A and B are shown apart, each in its own frame.
Chain A
Amino acid sequence: MGAILTTDRLTKNFGGLTAVNDVSFSLEQGEILGLIGPNGAGKTTLINLISGAFPPSKGTITFEGRDITRDKAHTVNTLGIARTFQVVRIFSRLTALENVLAAMVDRKHKGPWSLVWDSFFRRACALTEDKESCATADSLLDFVGISKYRDEQAGNMPYALTKRLEIARALATQPKLLLLDEPSSGLNPAELTGQIDLIQKINAQGTSILIIEHVMKVIMGISHRLIVLHYGEKIAEGEPEKVYNDPLVVEAYLGGDSDAQH
């Protein structure tokens, strides 16, 4: 198994602030890689860089052997990387089902005009009446455990469940790599167990995962390896137990304002 994603000396400056500094790492095919670090360590910035939300100041990102450093977010997604957001970005006026349906469109091959064509000449009736697509979408909603909210406007769903909807939406684009930005924040202990199960189920289907997480119980339980960022720099990398006891990491967490939940 080779690396699916590699970053080489990735750096991002915002004005005078260096949010990510010279970070190189690779993510193996089928791996769950945990990304931890104190608040403001640059974790979300790193995910934003990989997902193409903005370009890095320096360094390169390679995905499946292809240089995606300068690719925009939508291109990155069509290449096989999907993500969730720290603060959910669901489509609040669409139903849960429609959120997933919107993500199922084959956007690699279909631009706006071919969808316009489709809407007149291919589909027999409205999208939500398309049995095949809906079945797939339903199974995804079921997979993340929110089928109850199928026809609910996403904006009216409980917050914890919108995080799951976001995961379902990301999965609907059939990613090879999934970037999860704090999927467990705001969940109660019972929900946490469910969340761990879910992430492991996703991984078991062959999807590689990069996950940012503050909840130690989750990150220690599921990560195959961990990377620790501190002030934008990578200070440790390796097996969870080893990293967790690394003196540098301990100092980073104790020295900074730690909000790790044990």
Chain B
Amino acid sequence: MSARLRNILLWIVALAVLILIPFVVEDRYFMHIAVMAGIFTILTLSWNLLAGYTGQLNLGHAAFYGIGAYTSAILAMQTGLSPWLGLFAGGLVAAVFGLMLGFPALRLSGPYLAITTIGFAEILRLVAMNWVDLTRGSLGLSGVPLLTPIKIGDFTMQFYFERDYYYVVVAGVLFTLFCIRRLIGSEFGVTLQAMRDDEAGAQSIGINPSSYKLAVFTISAFFAGFAGGLFAHFARLVSPELLALHNTFDILTMAMIGGLGTIAGPILGAVSLTILSEALRSMEEVLKIDIRLIVYGLLLILTILFMREGLVGVIKNVWARVKGDR
């Protein structure tokens, strides 16, 4: 069997499993968790595009998430724009902000970049808190419209239950995944990796690092904004909390634990940490305490100290060993 055929089969199986999950597990709470896992997968994939492929640490990613959510919600509530278009509008507005942040970020690195991006997100969070006319301040916007029904012939797909949104989010993840895989596999992606490995070397073959960093900042922000839009119409509540630093910390923990600078890593990280955190939440009833974030912090430290390549690296090693034994 050729590698290509095997790949296609693998994709079909994965897709079938994803489609069938809601038929097997009908629990609404579980579906809610699955939707959030999907949204965080998109966020982590997009954050990793910047951090993992260009080595720039953006600690303000949650701001793009929030911008997308607010944009999509406000457009739907005030102009009546179709939420479906709103998802992309949210992405585009976030992308514009990404470009804006990208310019100063070009000249900065390490702690300077980290703190500037945090500052960017914090300032925007305060704007969301205080621009009450537009955002209703810390109360947030509630009653964001649901995604509008889609009619195909006689069949109408409603978007009301968690399960419906599950399919939307799966489609969103696949869309993101498709785009990012395309980008990484292309000349564009090779250029990014070249810059990450050696910037002077990259310049010597005609690469202008600044323009690429700007482009990646913009693209990364687009997908975060897109994820924000998905969240807005799913949760129907958008609050300044979305822009908070701890969301960015969740994203980077997921990316690190999954494996920075890979495509499978962020997916693995987002899904496994979401599941883990639910497992810990159920343990809370026994332990009487919330140890979820303690475990996050500990895992993040241990990952960096002992498995820098993340889960993807571990799986690769195990796989190599299994193959070697045969």
Contact = CB atoms under 8 A, between A and B. Distances in A.
- A contacts B directly (C-beta below 8 A): yes
A107 to B, nearest CB: 4
B219 interface: yes
Given A91-B193, A91-B197, A91-B198, A111 B208 contact: yes
Question: Residue among B186, B191, B205 with the most chain A CB within 10 A?
Answer: B205
Contact of B201 (A75, A85, A98, A172): A85
A74 B203 contact: yes
A52, A72, A98, A103 — most chain B CB neighbours (10 Å): A103
B206 A119 contact: no
B182 interface: yes
Interface in A140-197: 169-170, 172-173
B186 A94 contact: no
A51 B186 contact: no
Given A92-B198, A119-B182, A83 B204 contact: yes
B110 interface: no
A101 interface: yes
Contacts of A116: 183, 188, 215, 219
Interface in B163-219: 179, 182-183, 185-191, 193-194, 196-198, 200-209, 211-212, 214-215, 219
B188 A169 contact: no
A89 B200 contact: yes
A61 interface: no
A113 interface: yes
Identify which of B197, B209, B212 gathers the most chain A CB atoms within 10 Å of its CB. B197
A102 B194 contact: yes
A127 B187 contact: yes
Given A91-B193, A92-B197, A120-B182, A170 B205 contact: yes
A93 B197 contact: yes
Contacts of B189: 119, 127
A105 B191 contact: yes
A115 B197 contact: no
Interface centre among A52, A103, A112, A119, by most chain B C-beta atoms within 10 angstroms, is: A112
A169 B207 CA distance: 13
A72 B199 CA distance: 13
Contact of A126 (B186, B191, B208): B186
A126 B4 CA distance: 12
A108 interface: yes
A82 B183 contact: no
B204 A119 contact: no
B191 A89 contact: no
A82 B182 contact: no
B204 A72 contact: no
Interface in B266-286: none
A90 interface: yes
Contact of A119 (B183, B193, B194): B183
B205 A90 contact: no
A170 B190 CA distance: 16
Nearest to B208: A74
Nearest to A53: B200
A102 B219 contact: no
Given A90-B198, A94-B193, A111-B211, A85 B204 contact: yes
A103 to B, nearest CB: 4
Contacts of B209: 74
Given A91-B194, A116-B215, A170 B204 contact: yes
Contacts of A77: 203-206
A119 B200 contact: no
The interface centre, meaning the residue of A99, A110, A119 with most chain B CB atoms within 10 A of its CB, is A119
Nearest to A89: B201
Given A112-B188, A115-B186, A119-B189, A72 B208 contact: yes
Interface of A: 51-53, 72-75, 77-78, 82-83, 85, 89-94, 98-99, 101-103, 105, 107-108, 110-113, 115-116, 118-120, 123, 125-128, 169-170, 172-173
